[in-house]
Amino acid sequence: MGPESELALVGGLLRALSVFRFATLAYAALGVALSRDDLIREPLAWALLGLMFVTSLLLTSWFSTFAPFDRSSPPAVLFELSIGIVVLLGDSFVYAPGRVQSLPWSWPAAGIMAAGIMFGPGAGFISSLFIGAANFYSEWVLGRTPENVAGPEIVGTLSKLGLWVITGTLAGYVIARLRRAEEEISTVRAREEVTRELHDGVLQTLAVIQRRSDDTELAALARDQEHDLRGFLAGSKGDSEAFEPAMRRLAARHERMHPPCKVNVVVAQDLPALTNTQVAALSGAVGEALTNAGKHGNARKVTIYAEPAEDAFVSKPGGAEASTVFVSVKDDGDGFDVDTAVPSIGMSSSIRGRIAQVGGVVDVDSTVGRGTEVQLWV
């Protein structure tokens, strides 16, 4: 999610939270006004309400410029949580024992929700525990009487704790889901923009090459590239393509581009099913390995071989037991010295990078004059 989108999302939630603060503050003030007969320190009650009002004011968007901190910063969240603890502890000094009204009511929940919004479900959960502990200490240590040792009072205390835990955790979860949804929307919009640019530029150029070129190999290459690019832009690359057909298509394209070269595809019958993402990664990596074999290795014969990985993958450096498929691209080309060669962008990005994205590893075995084998585990 971009900075502007993040700011807009969090800003909107914080504005809604400001409304919640003043709504719960108004309810708390009404409760104090209607229960004045139960007050033992009425000035303290109004002082605590004033503290809640000033805090709500400082954390409101149109007044936050006067605050000593940014309302979306960690100090602002800690400040509000601290005020919530103060008013909860002060509650026991305001009402007579056996009170039926809580002075702050649900106002402290705003700080819990702010923590969840800014820092995630974990922060909301931890904040609710601190607020719940302050409420428990206020009601069962400072305000404890023989009459409220057990019974309905403990149910009320636990109910408030449960409400605060749900509030903080849920607020963090919701904002996390909203951020993810915004990221997905941004990705779709970016893809649509790239699609328009490529359609108006690259795809049109490839179409012109196919119509006007007298070179049949060049026209075939342009046609293959147009097909792949359209599939990528449509988001369908690998969706309807099984692994073996994908390898055979790559082999046919390589033979058209490098007529002297012959590509054999051998796939074990018991090869495990692969996901669309894995097929796409292997197709890209194998395609790059074929390109290297023809362009740099002058290979006359290439074999693409695939089988279940079994235990072979575990012995490889950085391997993982979750691997299911082993794929080999072996050619009879010029080969090279693996220890001294500088990795190309194609090898590091198109092959190793693609396979790493799906949790696999790559190994290259080559000797000068004896060809090259690119081994892939996914």
Query: Mean pLDDT for each 10-residue chunk of the chain (378 residues)?
Result: 64 85 92 85 93 91 64 86 93 74 84 90 92 87 57 70 89 84 77 74 79 76 71 51 84 85 90 89 94 90 91 47 82 89 77 92 92 94
- Tell me how far apart the alpha carbons of residues 1 and 4 are, in angstroms, rounded to a whole number: 8
Q: Dump the DSSP string for 267-278.
A: E-TTPPP--HHH
- Tell me how far apart the alpha carbons of residues 167 and 173 are, in angstroms, rounded to a whole number: 10
* Structural domains for the chain: 3-186 (no CATH), 241-377 (3.30.565.10)
- Tell me how far apart the alpha carbons of residues 267 and 246 are, in angstroms, rounded to a whole number: 11
Distances in Å between the Cα of 93 and the Cα atoms of 41, 43, 44, 127, 257 are 7, 11, 8, 23, 86
Q: What is the pLDDT of residue 316?
A: 47
Which secondary-structure segment (H or E) carries 331?
strand 325-331
Please tell me whether residue 372 adopts helix, strand or coil conformation. strand
Task: Answer whether 0.85 is exceeded by the pTM.
Answer: no
Q: What is the pLDDT of residue 255?
A: 85
Name the token pair of 70: 């940014």
Q: What is the pLDDT of residue 226?
A: 72
Q: What is the pLDDT of residue 224?
A: 72
- Tell me how far apart the alpha carbons of residues 242 and 198 are, in angstroms, rounded to a whole number: 27
Using one digit for the tens of pLDDT, what is the confidence trace for 244-257? Answer: 888 988 998 888 88
Q: What is the pLDDT of residue 187?
A: 76
Q: Which residues make Cβ contacts (< 8 Å) with residue 164, sequence separation at least 6? A: 108, 109, 112, 128, 131, 132
Q: What is the pLDDT of residue 325?
A: 93
Q: What is the pLDDT of residue 83?
A: 94
* 110 C-beta neighbours (distance < 10 Å), count: 27
Nearest CA among 353, 350, 377, 349 for reference residue 363: 377
Please tell me whether residue 342 adopts helix, strand or coil conformation. coil
